[in-house]
């Protein structure tokens, strides 16, 4: 199976300024290596983690999703990141997985961050999303989901298991120890790569974000981690290494035969 090449964009999101954020990303996209398959952006990459969805929320035909579609097509890359989506009278924190041909898959954040009132402004999704790229299976997740191992748990059915756990986030610096620890824990217990993509900078509410975007091996080793500044990093995930690890340490064969719906 082909290796998977992932580009991570970590940056300071301009607060509720969609135009400024998309302009910034337009400039950065020109620097993405041609060989990269996927470009991953943080949670609410065009607005910041806002509790004013009525101010910035858009439909799936809005400018942000249209930008994702045109950019994916222009650069022949998959784009992934979460967006404030208005749909059927409610709002979702929706991770969009945009393909170069205009098709897309979505995942609505399941665990809403009640500590910040997210559950008062957004509706939770109720289903997992696993996408396929070059034979790789990738589980899509958003920020607070990382704290809940049962939700992220591998399926007892080997055919339904993922190879990469992707988490896009606006995770605060004050809880960065938890972020760094949980990324490794999820990799170890699920024998999968973990790619975590966070933002940097201080948001409108004065909350600092240290970044710490990272790539973790199926054994919990930190393959790369970001400095506390805006950056772009491209990383190659090797399927042969994943396969070898799962054959040598076949822990998933002994997992309990249950999973929540």
Q: Which residues are catalytic?
A: 43, 109, 143
In sequence order, the 6+-apart residues with CB closer than 8 A to the CB of 68 are 79, 81, 83, 96, 98, 104
From residue 189, alpha-carbon distances to 107, 218, 219 in Å are 22, 8, 9
- In three-state secondary structure terms, 103 is coil
CB count in 10 Å sphere of residue 166 = 23
Phi-psi region of 220 (alpha: psi -120 to 50; beta: other; left: phi over 0): left
Closest CA to 181 of 230, 220, 136: 220
Closest CA to 125 of 169, 89, 164, 93: 93
Rounded Cα gap, residues 44 and 47, in angstroms? 6
């Amino acid at each position: 199976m082909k290796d998977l090449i992932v580009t991570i964009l970590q940056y300071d999101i301009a607060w509720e300024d969609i135009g400024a954020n998309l302009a910034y990303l337009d400039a950065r996209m020109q620097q993405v290596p041609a060989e990269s398959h996927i470009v991953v952006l943080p949670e609410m990459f065009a607005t910041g983690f806002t509790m004013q969805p009525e101010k910035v929320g858009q439909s799936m035909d809005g400018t942000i999703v249209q930008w994702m579609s045109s950019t994916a097509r222009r650069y022949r890359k998959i784009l992934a990141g979460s967006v404030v989506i208005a749909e059927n009278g409610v709002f979702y924190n929706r991770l969009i997985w945009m393909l170069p041909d205009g098709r897309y898959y979505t995942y609505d954040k399941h665990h809403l961050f009640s500590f910040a009132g997210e559950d008062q402004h957004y509706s939770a999704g109720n289903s997992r999303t696993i996408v396929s790229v070059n034979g790789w299976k990738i589980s899509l997740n958003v920020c607070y989901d990382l704290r809940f191992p049962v939700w992220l748990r591998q399926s007892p059915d080997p055919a339904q298991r993922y190879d990469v756990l992707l988490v896009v986030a606006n995770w605060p610096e004050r809880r960065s120890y938890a972020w760094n620890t949980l990324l490794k824990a999820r990799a170890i217990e699920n024998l999968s790569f973990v790619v975590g993509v966070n933002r940097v900078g201080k948001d409108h509410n004065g909350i600092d974000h240290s970044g710490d975007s990272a790539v973790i091996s199926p054994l919990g080793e930190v393959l790369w981690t970001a400095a506390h500044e805006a950056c772009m990093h491209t990383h190659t995930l090797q399927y042969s290494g994943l396969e070898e690890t799962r054959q040598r340490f076949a822990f998933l064969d002994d997992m309990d035969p249950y999973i929540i719906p």
